[in-house]
Structure 1
């Protein structure tokens, strides 16, 4: 399958990062969101990232301009009719994703691959909302996308081998390392990471140690670049809670039960860095 034009749906932190690396990889990219302001904000972030790379000597001014020239803004989903690959990076909600994939299935060309950047939701269920489940696949990038090498590639129950091979090759063309993962809740990354973060929250909740001490133990004792509570703030506590709920529901095992303190913070609107307060306070 020849992939030349990519549509990225969602111009937030993940979506803009995916759009950036696809444009840097030589692909024409349609960056889509619901409102013009969201798309312009995403493009501004990409411009800022590329300018920083130019300042550091990692990119020339011409390469920056060529990359920006390959990016097209969109607020009309019908632009999916032009894409060979559509990567969805919308909110982590099954209802939203299945509705979106159903709409894309009707708009996108017959040959187009529909990929989801979901961090925990089943690809098979998302694919069932389309008439082309063999062309639906998971493509889970890590945050920040331009920096992190890993891409989890998740086969749904019906994903065709040639679709997997195309996405694997495409990930390599973006200078990423694709890792094949089967369709289980949380895949590999979040099935391991989120229970660790949840346990760190329980450790705080039960008064075992302060948040600073918990983070220091994992940074200095386990050589983690960032403590689990700081990392949770950066991911977003609402996202952490949603993934834990997905794991709990998917496996039916209480070892995945979200900590009550996590629920409390989310209900209070303390979502981490993006809201200005989570386990830590941000200016």
Structure 2
């Protein structure tokens, strides 16, 4: 497929442009420009297959903002965004810059293994390099993440950190031992740290919507990032041994909703409510 007329950065040599990338597709869902023809082609097909997909992505971005602001209000000023994707509207560092207390020392690190996502992150963080950075690493390898020089420079693991896994474990298969990976992160997180996760589901979805999103998940099997849907029971098990931050395990739109959202303020969210679980666990 042609990549003529791209607005995204020139692709590095080892980027496979024959298959769409979930990070760049998600950027397209949110109205970003850091994607290629192959990603837009898939995104348009996905939009036809499941017409709520863009609204779902935008609602997920709103949830991210609410979690970051809640963490700041709880005194947590360090953020590790795993599988961060392409930085689009409502980035973690933007929220932190706006809402962190003046006398705090905020830190943000984006982690992704997608070349374009990391390259663009590095560009937009040039002026914030003293307190924010981007790392190219696979979230399934916590040791590699924690051993990265940028993470070690910016994140003090003796203090609470908010680890974000926003709509990314949908792309981590059962064979990757999600509970084991999460436990390896928790073991390095100081007491009081937060683990925030959102994940696609069909548990409470209407029959037609469940069928649509299940078919879309099958379509993702043809991309660089196959997708999985998971039920509430499996999602809940990921927080075993942690204290759930109020309101606990709820649908995305029910987690501390704002009367007026900071991003995508006119979004109609009721239809997408059943398609995501979300929760924040606190390390004891």
State TM-score, norm by structure 2.
Answer: 0.37
State TM-score, norm by structure 1.
Answer: 0.37
Relative contact order higher in (CA < 8 Å, ≥ 6 apart): 2
Task: Please identify which structure carries the higher helix content.
Answer: 1
> Rg bigger for which structure?
1
